[in-house]
Amino acid sequence: MYATLILAPLLFALTVLISPLRLRNILSIVFVLFLSAVSIGMNLTLHTPVEASLHQLFHPLFILLDTLVLLYFLWQGVVKNSSLVMLLALLQIVLFGIVLSLSAALDSNDILIESTSTVMYLLINIVGGSIIVFALHYIESEAFGRFKKNAFIAILFFFLSVMNFIVSTNNIEIFFLLFELTTLCSYLLIAYRGEGVSVENSLRALWMNQLGGVAILAALIFSILHYDTVHFDILIANIEEVYLLPIVLLAIAAFVKGASIPFDKWLLGAMVAPTPVSAILHSATMVKIAPYLMLKLAPAMNGFVSLSITLLGTFVFFSAALLALGKDYFKEILGYSTIALLGLMMALAALGTPEAIRACLVLLIFHAISKGLLFLQAGILEKNFHLKYVNDINGLINHSPLVVFFITVGFASLTLPPFGAFIGKFMAIESIAAEIAGSPLYLFALIFLALGSVFLTLLYFKVLTKLFAKDMDAEAGNASPHSPTAYAEISKYYTFPSFLLLFLLVAGIYISFEKELLDSMEIIVPLLLIGLVPLLFATLLFKKAHRVKEYNCGEKEQIKLNMYYFHMPRRIKTYIALTATAALVILMAGVVL
Amino acid sequence: MIEVMLILFAPLIGGLMYGFERVLRARMQNRKGPPLLQPFYDMYKLLDKQAFIINPYHTVLGIMHFLTLWTVVAFMIFGQNLLYIIFLHLLSVIFIILAGFSVNSVYSHVGANRELLSALAYEPILIIVAVGFFMMHGSFDISVIRQNSASIVPLFLLFLAFLLLIPLKLKKSPFDAAEAHQEIVGGVEIEFSGVYFEFIYIAKWLEYVFVYLLLVLFAGNNAVLGTVLFLGVFLLVNLVDNATARIKMKHVIQIVLGIALTLGLLNLAGLSYV
């Protein structure tokens, strides 16, 4: 079954590449449904971990692919005149050569599918699939040639295949190849528009992710030299307290992929790409490798490593939330909140208690759904309303209640009971609170978590207030040409995936009900309260009440109120990056010594 | 059964507390003050007023603020998870903030903004107080906290931190910038009127019940200590309210977050060493 999930998207990618428009759209939807069905099947049928070995012939193929990818990076470095990319590609080629020259005696299976993997399958295929459906229409509104448009969809399918593979593999060498392939995909997608900014940002994404590749190769070398293995399960089973270097290097690779501060710039730079790219990078693919890898490594961590990563992760959660408060660009706000939540997920994974791992998984799933939903709305705002900045969204509720509804649900589901991401955060506080008795240093993790989650709530509702605010321009009749027109028609390709993700959120509430993550009262009551809002809107017509203008202490002057911002001096950003870097250095130094 | 009755009468209890507070404050200022039941007379008078609304969103969000706050109090009386209650309370605050922003009124916006900022100041402290209870009793459940003996001595610093929050939450001097009648005419309240203002008014009473129910948690199962704490703090808060002047929102955040967070951290660090 796992082979279907890996190979089918490859085939689909080739098919959509050469299909004409109508056929491509129909086929893509069928493919997405197929992948979703298979991933659900996998999730329901897997009870014990599946192990399998790949045929011997695959290994030379993987080595060939690895070499090709690294050479491609080198070539891009030369062509695009980026010495950093070039140097890192060369370094990777040298290290990869060293890895190939070494041989490991302890052998294990290449494929290992655990329950975490099947959860990831669901995310990748269902959430990722919805975004592909969204992208079908989105990409048609861009001015590119037919082939380039089809290639966009094809790369997205290829991305799904790579992601499905990366969560199934047990071999660090194969993991490295797939890690590089996701880097390649994101590089191609970010550079898709081909203008100056896109190329610049894609190169930044490339070299930052190459750092992660270097870390994995170094981890491989140390793992072969000391533990004599290239397999995750053997490495973790034989781990010695005094030699955690491979684990920490892999954790650093996770930090890079998860765009954790100080590696956050690549994910924020990815905003220049078409919106479905941001959606898929943030929700279903790429960054989700980080918490997944951390979950895999958690059993091998000792007290020091686990504490440092927890502290760093919660620090990232806090600082990314803080930095987001000063932003106005809708996608950037979403980007910072992704960085924040990924930091939290990694912190929880590193904490490693059963409850923390459960919290991490809950966050992983629901963050993907909510972020997918929000990014799709960002795409709709951009395409249908030509809106990118939060301050311009004034009174969207008068123009598209549906989009407002989706955005509200998206933000609410990240903060409020009874949605999954709330439950995740709630469990996070509980599991960190349980650790404080053991080590008071976890207090800092708790403070970061408490402050960070309040900042995020503030941030989300700062954006939401704008949606409900009164539309002064439209009322005064001087609407600018970019202002949304009343009740804009939104394509079904846009609303269908949004409804699908909404359905997943609701299904998530049902599942948390079944699994008793919260008391039944604690789920039902807020659900009723939140459900009451649209109900009251619909039923309370206030017929007897007189409509009046704002009292406003009798002031007659018409006023236009804008959004408030928090001023973030540049130095704060520098301090945060320095602190995070210092934490990573301390982590490395602590393990080496 | 008694719990259901308590929940139903919670707004009335809050109203009595509010009335008593007005009498107490008047006595402190050497005035006679209004009768104890004045808040209820006010309510009755409001019913007679003509109903005005600005827009339905504003009104509905105001009503939701009241309903959610009542639910919060109900959850507290039923002895549910404290941490959960704190987040549910945040939901009620969010409703009133959204309401404040949904009208085009400067005072309402400034008030809602300040409301947001004060949430920023007290939410982390409330979470830390909850963690303090968790470390003492091994559970976030209020029913467990109420069954165990008083934890005010080991949680004394957290108790002090919580004392700082009370004027902020109940909008008393020196931390009443969010309401500040003299400058922003009540902030988010300004655009509510007539029968719809009643919801906001009762929500204010419920806020009293919420805060003092949290306070008596420090007394655990000791009813006498609980009563003493309640009366003592009630007196203290009103004394401070009478004796101090309003300070700026910026300073409110600095003082509350700075002092209360430090106190809370010291307390938790101490607990983890014991």
For A361-399, what is each residue's pLDDT tens digit? 888 888 888 888 898 888 888 887 777 787 777 777 777
Proportion of chain A above pLDDT 70, given as a percent:
92
Asked whether the beta carbons of residue B120 and residue A455 sit closer than 8 angstroms, the reply is yes
Distance in Å, alpha carbon of B143 to nearest chain A alpha carbon: 14
How distant is the Cα of A202 from the closest Cα of chain B, in angstroms?
A: 37
What region does A564 belong to: left with phi over 0, alpha with psi -120 to 50, or beta? beta
B56 CB within 8 Å of a chain A CB: yes
Q: What DSSP letter does each residue of B201-225 carry, written as one string?
A: HHHHHHHHHHHHHHHHGGGTT-HHH
* A191: in domain: no
Count how many domains chain A has: 1
Asked if the Cβ–Cβ distance from B128 to A447 is below 8 Å, we say yes
- The answer to the question of residue A529 being in a domain is yes
Nearest by Cα to A364 from A297, A262, A451, A295 = A295
- The answer to whether residues B76 and B207 touch, using CB atoms and an 8 Å cutoff, is no
B81 in a domain, yes or no?
yes
- Residue A22, in any domain of the structure: no
Q: Mean of the pLDDT values across residues A282-295?
A: 87
Q: Which one, of B258, B157, B83, lies nearest residue A432 by Cα?
A: B83
Helix (H, G, I), strand (E, B) or coil at A546: strand
Regarding predicted confidence, which is higher, A469 or A225? Answer: A225
Mutation to test the A interface, candidates B108, B165, B190, B268, most A Cβ within 10 Å: B268
Which of A417, A461, A555 is nearest residue B84 as measured by Cβ atoms?
A417
Predicted local distance difference test score (pLDDT) of residue A580:
85
CB B11 within 8 A of CB B70: yes
- In angstroms, what separates the C-alpha of B17 from chain A's closest C-alpha? 27
What one-letter code names the amino acid at B269? A
The answer as to whether A419 is a domain residue is: yes
| Contact: A532, B94; criterion CB under 8 Å | no
pLDDT tens, per residue, chain B with 274 residues: 788 888 888 888 898 999 998 898 888 888 888 888 888 898 888 888 887 877 777 888 888 899 899 999 998 888 888 888 888 898 888 888 888 888 877 888 888 888 888 888 888 899 889 888 888 888 888 888 888 887 888 888 999 999 988 988 888 888 877 776 777 677 777 778 778 888 888 998 999 999 998 998 888 888 888 899 899 999 999 898 888 888 888 888 888 888 998 898 888 888 877 6
* A461, B102 Cβ separation under 8 angstroms: no
The answer to whether position A439 is within a domain reads yes
The overall average pLDDT reported for chain A is 83
Q: How far is B24 from chain A (nearest CA, A)?
A: 31
Looking at residue A573, its amino acid is K
What is the mean predicted confidence (pLDDT) over A488-495? 73
- Confidence (pLDDT) at B153: 81
B125: nearest CA in chain A? A450
User: Does the residue A166 lie in any domain?
Assistant: no
Question: The domain containing residue B210 runs over which residues?
Answer: 49-273
- Give chain A positions within 8 Å (CB) of B71: 525, 529
CB A219 within 8 A of CB A274: no
Give every CB contact of residue A94 below 8 A, 6+ residues apart in sequence: none
Distance from CA of A548 to the nearest CA of B (A): 5
**CB nearest A430 (choices: B71, B97, B140):** B140
Considering only residues 255 to 274 of chain B, which have any Cβ-Cβ distance to chain A shorter than 8 Å? 261, 265, 268-269, 271-273
> Considering the domain boundaries, does residue B32 fall inside one?
no
What would the pLDDT profile of A252-278 be if each residue is shown by its tens digit?
999 888 888 888 888 888 888 888 888
Classified as helix, coil or strand, A490 is: coil
Asked if the Cβ–Cβ distance from B101 to A468 is below 8 Å, we say yes
Among B84, B106, B196, beta carbon nearest to A426: B84
Strand, helix or coil for residue A59: helix
Chain A residue with minimum CA distance to B52: A546
Tabulate helix, strand, coil % of chain B (nearest 5).
Answer: 75, 0, 20
Do the Cβ atoms of A144 and A386 come closer than 8 Å?
no
Identify whether A371 is part of a domain: yes
Looking at the domain assignment, is residue B235 inside a domain? Answer: yes
- pLDDT number for residue A431: 86
Q: What is the share, in percent, of chain A residues with pLDDT greater than 90?
A: 5
State yes or no: pLDDT of A531 exceeds 50.
yes
Residues of chain A contacting B119 with CB distance shorter than 8 Å: 454, 457-458
Q: Per the CB < 8 Å rule, is B59 touching A540?
A: yes
Q: Which residues of B touch A468 (CB under 8 A)?
A: 57, 98, 101-102
Mean pLDDT of A186-201: 86
> How far B29 CA lies from chain A's nearest CA (Å)?
29
Tokens 């963050």 -> residue: A367
The answer to whether residue B27 is domain-embedded is no
Which residue range(s) make up the domain with A412?
A: 299-593
| Residue A469 lies inside a defined structural domain of this protein | yes
Domains in chain B, number: 1
- Vertex A324: Cα angle to A523 and A280 (nearest 5): 70
Question: Is residue A19 pLDDT above 70, yes or no?
Answer: yes
Which of B90, B106, B124 is the closest to A552 by Cβ? B106
Q: Residues B139, B140, B141, B147: what is their CA dihedral angle, to the nearest 10 degrees?
A: 60
pLDDT at residue A484, rounded to an integer: 47
* Inter-chain touch B52–A545, beta carbons under 8 Å: yes
What's the rounded mean pLDDT across residues A532-545?
Answer: 72
- Residue A215: pLDDT band by 50, 70, 90 thresholds? very high
CB nearest B104 (choices: A436, A532, A559): A559
Q: To the nearest whole angstrom, how far is the Cα of A418 from the nearest Cα of chain B?
A: 10
ipTM field:
0.84
Q: What was the pLDDT predicted at B7?
A: 83
CB-CB neighbors (< 8 A) of A546 in chain B: 50-53
Predicted local distance difference test score (pLDDT) of residue A113 = 86
A313 within 8 A of A428, measured Cβ to Cβ: no
Cα(B174)–Cα(B169) distance, integer angstroms:
12
**CA–CA separation, B104 vs A551, rounded Å?**
10
Q: Per-residue b/e over A364-384, b at no fewer than 16 CB within 10 Å?
A: bbbbbbbbbbbbbbbbbbbbb
Q: Which residues of chain A make contact with B134, given a CB cutoff of 8 A? A: 430, 433-434
Of the residues B96, B131, B192, the best mutation for testing chain A's interface (the one with the most A CB atoms within 10 Å of its CB) is B131
Q: What is the pLDDT of residue A424?
A: 85
Q: Which residue has the higher pLDDT, A486 or A241?
A: A241
Instruction: Among A435, A447, A473, A556, pick the best mutation site for testing chain B contact (most B Cβ within 10 A).
Output: A447
For A50, the 3-state DSSP assignment is strand
pLDDT at A480 over 50: no
Amino acid at B86: I
CA atoms within 13 A on the CB side of B82: 29
Q: What is the pLDDT of residue A471?
A: 57
State the pLDDT at residue A427: 86
| Chain A interface includes B107 (CB < 8 A) | yes
Q: Is the Cβ of B227 closer than 8 Å to some Cβ of chain A?
A: no
Q: What 3 state SS string does A382-444 have?
A: HHHHCCCEHHHCCCHHHCCHHHHHHHHHHHHHHHCCCCHHHHHHHHHHHHHHHHHCCCCCHHH
| Chain centroid, CA B55 distance in Å | 27
Residue of A nearest to B261 (CA): A447
Q: Residue A541: which pLDDT band, with cuts at 50, 70 and 90?
A: low
Cβ <8 Å between B185 and A547: no
What's the rounded mean pLDDT across residues A457-483? 63
Q: Residue B20 domain-assigned? A: no
Residues in chain A with CB shorter than 8 Å from the CB of B268 are 436, 440, 443, 446
Residues of A in contact with B120 (CB under 8 A): 454-455, 458
Where helices occur in A515-547 by DSSP H, the ranges are 520-539
Beta-carbon pairs below 8 A across chains A and B: 171
Say which of B60, B101, B107 has its CB closest to residue A553. B107
Indicate whether A486 pLDDT > 70.
no
Please, what is the end-to-end C-alpha distance for chain B in angstroms?
Answer: 40
Question: Which among B98, B158, B185, B261 is the top mutation candidate for probing chain A, defined by the most A β-carbons within 10 Å of its own β-carbon?
Answer: B98
Please give the pLDDT value at position B162: 92
CA distance A474 to chain B (A): 14
Backbone angles phi, psi at B141, to 5 degrees: -70, 130
pLDDT at B100: 84
Residue A477: its pLDDT value, please?
45
- Per CB-CB distance under 8 Å, the chain A contacts of B63 are 536
Token pair recorded at residue A376: 């799709």
Q: Which of A111-115, A222-226, A561-565 has the lowest mean pLDDT?
A: A561-565
pLDDT at A317: 92
